[in-house]
Structure 1
């Protein structure tokens, strides 16, 4: 074979090889370029989705706190307490006696007046329904029993309510809150039950319902949904998802009768949220680590970011499945970049042109991403400033606690009620950190807050003022009663150790408590509580000191080293 023949034979082979190499290199370059775009898009959208779900969780917590306040406040009213005390003779004697009970209760003028009060309270509170249940589990008054005779006959008055799951805990003295579907109306809602005490004796329950329809603003953003403590989606922006169950949710372990009792249904389709295995099949250029951060659903073919927030003090959880908005464009960009780079490698001019375009586009994309990051940072800073709870312990933040203190002072004066404030400080906290590490110190703080929640009422509040120092608010409580409450808290902390701490860690707390005086400002009552705490510390720690509400109290401590 002569040189000419060889050159003719190898020419097409060399050209084909160059084309293949260019195509391969162009693919590698395109992969790298679109991976950078994907990373930037993920960072930007993850920050945005985090802001959305955090804001959603705060709105849920705020709305539920407002809803809880109504029955909790009503439980402290003399009118409610007297009505429940007077109705203790009504008890369940079988379903046949229900009509007679209802008739007797509807004829009782005192009970009818209470039902009228409940009706008025429902009107301005935003609740769907309010009713009273005596200690025997009988509904004695209801907000929907005074419109007319027909409405009264359809109301809960006279009904044995003991089988309602949301009343089980309240009838033994615990505040409860649960999602459910109304047995009569068939309408879903959040049911709240607050125990009522008269002279220290449990006499019944104030129960209320907030309809889900009133709370639709929780899921105003596309892709958001709310699940209850059993993992059932009770509200979703896409209403077709309502009634589905989250993966491995508690509802799948419940009996059929329990499901029917709470949800009025037996089956719950699965809400399949899992790592999207099709991402790598559809786009092999996506890194494995990145593909593991993308989720998919049968109802949503686009890879999505998934965010969830629990711990809303209600059993509810906020969720967001946010489809990656840039995904279709990224797929198109990859194909386009592959072709462009390939054409670029075919000639110097084309190469220079593609490099220039890519540089300009990357600069523009970088500038847009930087501007968006700055905007998101500002938004996150604002959201963080509005945070209401301490991230470690779940107690109220200092700022929100001080706002709540001012509000409670105004409410106590308006209602002519007592108000106690206490400041608690864990003893020898620095020694716990030094001996067992800061992780043990964190567990100690969490255990103290959990003990407070166990011992205090639902209407009471605990806030972290800083370090190991906490503030306690006891509405409608005088100094003698408040001292008993915090003394029980102190004793319980010593008696029930935390299983998360080493056995040698002995927790104790010093507490100073005082009562609101007629002319107190927030700073003054805090100063007086701080003075009482100082006295507890200097008196040997692990004790409670109370300071009466007068103006003769000495100034608060000024030397921190005494602690």
Structure 2
């Protein structure tokens, strides 16, 4: 008879061996299941992150394209070209000449008139500043000429964004203003007269106006030198991406562009080590897709979009929201599989638990799919309609304008574009409050929809400014439509507005020319609107296509 002690030792060893084998097998099963769940979760969230990153990149490209059109258009105005040509002899020939030059330029009637024009254009366009620089690098006219911090008389040759423009190239770059200390994007366009370079026009967009680019948590924007210029988390701004060009620039170059020389490194980092520690079952192919912002240790998906025709790059770090649940699911799966293999008495329990777990997994997957569908629907609605007025959004309106231009040219039909701006809208907001101002905007859109045809379209370009596309419409017919809008707006007041609120609108309208791009026809409509407002508001000004006369001297038609 065997020794009872030996039998107990053998039985205990067998139990330990079976338990160990069951634990190992259960671990393999749990690893495989959790790996599939992680792959599904990453795939689903990657679609959401990709859609958000693409939306941000399209927003940046669209906004900058509109901003670029303004200095490019002003550079084609004849009086601007002539003023720069006549100011070519102004130069800072010795240090300390700035007060003397400023006084001389201020006393030049032509340049003073140009400064007034730039001031009005700056206020109308939403740019922070616009100024002209002659071939000597001297600012001869500026939108802030009347300000104590005027640029007029300043030598700007050393500005990085100006060097290429004075060599005949277009420049668009981030920088920090030397006078204001405020960051912005500088757009410089060369100006020619009769084929000869006579100077450059420079415009600045303040970073504060572009904060909507980083409205989503985890987003940030870097410039061509790898410096983070804007971020949802403001503490991140001013850092440099790893291996960025800024690291190779000397202190003078950094100071010239950014008014500072120190740029702490900051970059999205792979989370491979932490993933291997927390979840060794995750394959390296999946683990390599998971990143983190420095110091957060939060598993995230990283999306970057470059090539935005501006030197800028858009970045999104999107937390992997299902990660904690995946870790919990893996631990639960390991234990449940072990119990299933360890004894038949728990078989019924394990089958039920597995069923519930799979049901929960499918419910979570359906929930993520529903979230994706809702996110796509929300992005589509935001891209198409303005939330307040129901008019088309700016981006969708510009896309529609481009399609209508292509259709008009393909069909050989005319097309008109009008830009309308409610008169004295700020006074309505200031006197009656923003709720009344919102009703005024809604009423104007309702008037337009009642008057326009089914094939016409109205979009909100921003604030109280609206664009109207009139397919198959000549300039004369478009003026008639605009006049009907004026008449109906006066004849049909809104019952939701106070009786003392009188709405009127200024409209600039133009017709599609043979070679017009969307930016050009928008710019010409803008110039017509500016003429309508300058002429006293509550009227329409029309500017025909291919008009060779410079703005300010063009033969505007009035209605």
Q: Give the alignment's TM-score, normalised by structure 1.
A: 0.67
After TM superposition, give the deviation of residue 364 of structure 1 in Å: 4.3
Displacement of 1:169 in angstroms is 1.3
For residues 95 and 355 of structure 1, the distance between their equivalents in structure 2, rounded to whole angstroms, comes to 88
The 3 A distance-change label for structure 1 pair 27 and 258 is: same
SS in 2 for 1:213: helix
State the match for 1:239 in structure 2.
234
Residue 303 of structure 2 is aligned to residue 294 of structure 1: no
Deviation at 1:243, TM superposition (A): 1.6
Which residue of structure 2 lines up, in the alignment, with residue 338 of structure 1? 334
In the alignment of these two chains, the number of paired residues is 421
Aligned to 1:313: 309
Counterpart CA distance in 2 for 1:175 and 1:244 is 27
8 Å CA contact 1:341–1:351 kept in 2: the answer is no
| Shift of residue 375, structure 1, vs aligned partner | 6.3
| 1:421 paired to 2:507 | no
Secondary structure at the aligned position of 1:301 is classed as coil
Residue pairs, 1:383-398, within 5 angstroms: none
What residue number does 1:102 align with? 102
Partner of 2:56: 56
Label 1:516 to 1:375 Cα distance change in 2 as closer, same or farther (>3 A). farther
Secondary structure in 1 matching 2:299: strand
- What displacement does 1:115 show? 1.6
Q: Post-superposition shift, 1:293?
A: 1.5
Q: Is the 8 A contact 1:106 1:112 kept in 2?
A: yes
Compute the displacement of 1:297 (Å): 3.6
Q: CA deviation at 1:22?
A: 2.3
Is 1:220 matched with 2:215?
A: yes
Partner of 1:353: 349
| Deviation per residue, 1:411-446 (Å, 9 max, x gap) | 796687994439xxxxxxxxxxxxxxxxxxxxxxxx
Contact kept? 2:187, 2:203, Cα under 8 Å: yes
Cα distance in structure 1, aligned partners of 2:311 and 2:416: 30
State the shift of 1:275 in Å.
Answer: 2.6
What is the CA–CA distance in structure 1 between the aligned matches of 2:75 and 2:338, rounded to whole Å?
Answer: 76
Please name the residue that 1:37 is paired with.
37
- Flag the 1:99–1:418 CA change in 2: closer, same or farther, 3 A: farther
Separation in 1, partners of 2:179, 2:92: 19
Gap runs ≥5 in structure 2 = 385-397, 409-413, 419-473, 476-507, 526-543, 548-559
Tell me which residue corresponds to 1:127: 127
Whether the 8 Å contact between 1:26 and 1:339 is mirrored in structure 2 is yes
Q: Structure 1 residues 37, 171: CA separation in 2 closer, same or farther (over 3 Å shift)?
A: same
**2:196 counterpart of 1:201:** yes
Aligned-partner Cα distance in 2 for 1:399–1:110: 40
Do the aligned partners of 1:131 and 1:206 also contact (CA within 8 Å) in 2? yes
SS at match of 1:17: helix
Deviations 1:486-539 (A, max 9, x none): xxxxxxxxxxxxxxxxxxxxxxxxxxxxx9799xxxxxxxxxxxxxxxxxxxxx
Tell me which of the two structures has the higher relative contact order, counting C-alpha pairs closer than 8 angstroms and 6 or more residues apart.
2
Counterpart for residue 165 of structure 1 = 160
Cα RMSD of the aligned pairs, angstroms, is: 3.4
Residues 112 and 34 (structure 1 numbering): CA distance in 2 closer, same or farther, change over 3 Å?
A: same
Q: SS state of the match for residue 247, structure 1?
A: coil
Counterpart in 2 of 1:468?
none
In structure 2, distance between residues paired with 1:337 and 1:40: 17
Q: Map 1:479-490; keep pairs closer than 5 Å.
A: none
2:158 aligns to what SS in structure 1?
A: coil
Q: Secondary structure at the match of 1:162?
A: coil
* SS of residue in 2 equivalent to 1:300: coil
CA distance in structure 1 between the aligned counterparts of 2:7 and 2:328, rounded to whole angstroms: 40
- Looking at structure 2, the residues matched to 346 and 75 of structure 1 have their Cα atoms a distance apart, in angstroms, of 82
Q: Deviations over 1:28-85 (max 9, x none)?
A: 2221222122111101111111011100000000111111111112112233223223
Matches within 5 A, 1:525-536: none
2:415–2:512 contact (8 Å) kept in structure 1? no
Point out where structure 1 has 5 or more consecutive residues left out of the alignment. Answer: 388-396, 423-456, 462-472, 477-514, 519-563
SS state at 1:95 partner: coil
Cα deviation, residue 260, structure 1: 1.1
The answer to whether the 8 A contact 2:139-2:153 is kept is yes
Tell me the residue number matched to 1:402.
403
Following superposition of structure 1 onto structure 2, how do residues 411-450 of structure 1 map, counting pairs within 5 Å?
419-421=513-515
Contact 1:175/1:194 (8 A) holds in 2: yes
Distance 1:39 1:343 in 2: 26
- The question of whether the paired residues in 1 share the 8 Å contact of 2:66 and 2:519 is answered with no
| 8 Å Cα contact 1:302/1:327 also seen in 2 | no
Aligned to 2:170: 175
1:356 match: secondary structure = helix
Structure 2 CA distance for partners of 1:118 and 1:516, relative to 1, 3 Å: closer
Q: How does 1:454-465 map to 2 (within 5 A)?
A: none
Partner of residue 538, structure 1: none
CA offsets, 1:364-401, max 9 Å, x none? 433552564476478669979989xxxxxxxxx99774
Deviations 1:269-297 (A, max 9, x none): 22233332311122111111111222234
Question: In the alignment, which residue of structure 1 is the partner of 2:66?
Answer: 66
Equivalent residue in structure 2 for 1:284, among 257, 270, 280: 280
Distance in 2 (CA, whole Å) between partners of 1:113 and 1:55 is 41
- CA shift at 1:186, angstroms? 1.0
Structure 2 CA distance for aligned equivalents of residues 351 and 108 of structure 1: 96
Cα separation, 2, equivalents of 1:13 and 1:251: 65
Name the CA distance, whole Å, in 2 between partners of 1:408 and 1:59.
26
- Structure 2 equivalent of residue 188 of structure 1: 183
Inter-CA distance 129–349: structure 2 relative to 1 (3 Å threshold)? farther
* Of 347-356 and 51-60, the range deviating more from structure 2: 347-356
